[in-house]
Structure 1
């Protein structure tokens, strides 16, 4: 069932997506203070799996993946929904949200050279410039004069977030090469189900049976993250993407780190330093220059998979 919105409706829906994804980083930072990173990822994935199943059944889009789509289900689930999500949750134990979300959104910078190496995509001057600006932003973030290299926890947290970004890049590059049979949204449930099983087993082996101190606030944060920030956001993104130009969605997603930085400052009282602002502008500017499409996507390209936040 295809859903098309008016331009105004699509913009409003897209704004909700960006806000939800930006807030999700601050929410995850709060969750990992009460629940281990692996169980945080498992609980959120489980809630999202149930919500996605209900949504797909309600829309009549629940399917069993065809054999040709099984590799993309596996790769996306393991590298994005398991590795990326768990590493981000681990990193947020130690690193500030503002710093983490900017590092997490360096993913497109790693996709550019990987796509050139493995998919034969041209490394155009704009992509080279975008890479240079993004790396300059990372240099600002890890400037010895501004970064405390003696802080082992912050260093480990930042390293985990960067590794998460690389895992996400692996998923994106594979997704670009995949020949889709079903729509990406129809497969998200199966990706999330596999991720829930895998990360739950890992959490049980590493952390044992969880005993969180449940409260209305903790339950509410998990429900928001799983239902709004993951399940409904994926549906909303697939809907908005069909109703808005590709350049709008590509540029609009760059607002997510800005929302994350702002929410962490307002909710958690994190200090937004000058070097973080400069680094964010350089990295997001580099992504915009290097990855924004220069022309409208064809209908076939509109069917291509989206960037999925988790």
Structure 2
């Protein structure tokens, strides 16, 4: 990919790499700050309904951007089943269950549970793809379990508590998202922004409908802060950050970009400490270091 006017001395490649890094930083900061934003918003609106509304609005925005960029929005009917499964794992499970989880756990706990996904991906690759686990896999899993245990076990862990529900939902989301990544390894012939718009629409519409049925008694008028948080969730983590994420994948190796997203739980934990007063001390730092070290090893193997 030779950039016009950059010559052949590597200047063009270096510049594109820095563009990719800048896009990745925007993505990780935007997604990281979304964790405390969700925690604030859950004080006013329930999880599935709020995610459904913001996701559908983001899908409409991305559809407009994709159309202006010359992408074709129509999708061949034979692609809809696989596209729907993508939307289920990438959006409904990842975003929907991830938001539901936040009712019962802190931002640090939720972020580490969700971002354990690469470890589950490596483990699931054994029965599904025949990729045998290695010593690195065992070390990655051990670090991930140790980090989660440090974070969740400081005050003891009651499996009958509400936090147990949050842990179960978070791990389920990570496992199902990892499963979807393995089963959907063949890319769909759909332009990137159009693909995200469709996934957001198909994944968030069921959230909205389920929220209207099951959460209607918790839906009330939003405060000014609530509207600002909804606007942030729609415009930044979904519309902007998905766009910069695809841009970072265009300019950086996928494993490097994926490893870079490990900044997300760090940003989320620090943001929650500053905005929500959630604990941020030696225990949280150790849990982050252990878990993210395990995830890094898993990503390197993947």
TM-score (norm: length of structure 2) = 0.87
- Unaligned runs of 5+ residues in structure 2 are 4-12
123-132 vs 38-47, which moves further: 123-132
Q: Which residue of 2 is the match for residue 102 of structure 1?
A: 112
* Secondary structure of residue in 2 paired with 1:12: helix
Q: Which residue of 1 is the match for residue 264 of structure 2?
A: 256
Q: Which residue of 2 is the match for residue 32 of structure 1?
A: 42
Deviations 1:48-96 (A, max 9, x none): 1111111111111133223453233111212331133222222212211
Compared CA separation, residues 149 and 87, structure 1 to 2 (3 A)? same
Q: Which residue of 1 is the match for residue 161 of structure 2?
A: 152
Q: Identify which of 102, 105, 115 aligns with 1:92.
A: 102
Compared CA separation, residues 66 and 293, structure 1 to 2 (3 A)? farther
Compared CA separation, residues 119 and 68, structure 1 to 2 (3 A)? farther
* Secondary structure of residue in 2 paired with 1:33: coil
Q: Is 1:17 paired with 2:32?
A: no
Q: Which residue of 1 is the match for residue 174 of structure 2?
A: 165
In 1, Cα distance between the equivalents of 2:257 and 2:208?
33
Q: Which residue of 1 is the match for residue 6 of structure 2?
A: none
Q: Which residue of 2 is the match for residue 304 of structure 1?
A: none
Structure number with larger C-alpha Rg: 2
In 2, Cα distance between the equivalents of 1:278 and 1:120?
33
In 2, Cα distance between the equivalents of 1:62 and 1:271?
47
66-75 vs 129-138, which moves further: 66-75
268-277 vs 107-116, which moves further: 268-277
Residue 39 of structure 1 deviates from its aligned partner by 0.8
Contact persistence 1:47–1:223 (CA under 8 A): no
In 2, Cα distance between the equivalents of 1:219 and 1:130?
40
Q: Is 1:113 paired with 2:126?
A: no
Question: Which aligned pairs between 1:102-251 and structure 2 lie closer than 5 A?
Answer: 102-143=112-153, 145-149=154-158, 152-176=161-185, 178-208=186-216, 211-251=219-259
Deviations 1:81-112 (A, max 9, x none): 11332222222122111111111111111111
Residue 274 of structure 1 deviates from its aligned partner by 2.8
Q: Is 1:70 paired with 2:57?
A: no
Q: Is 1:50 paired with 2:60?
A: yes
Structural RMSD (CA)? 2.4
Residue 266 of structure 1 deviates from its aligned partner by 0.7
245-254 vs 229-238, which moves further: 245-254
Contact persistence 1:101–1:260 (CA under 8 A): yes
* Secondary structure of residue in 1 paired with 2:184: helix
Compared CA separation, residues 53 and 179, structure 1 to 2 (3 A)? closer
Compared CA separation, residues 62 and 215, structure 1 to 2 (3 A)? farther
Q: Is 1:79 paired with 2:86?
A: no
* Secondary structure of residue in 2 paired with 1:6: helix
In 2, Cα distance between the equivalents of 1:251 and 1:202?
34
4+ runs deviating over 6 angstroms = none
TM-score (norm: length of structure 1) = 0.85
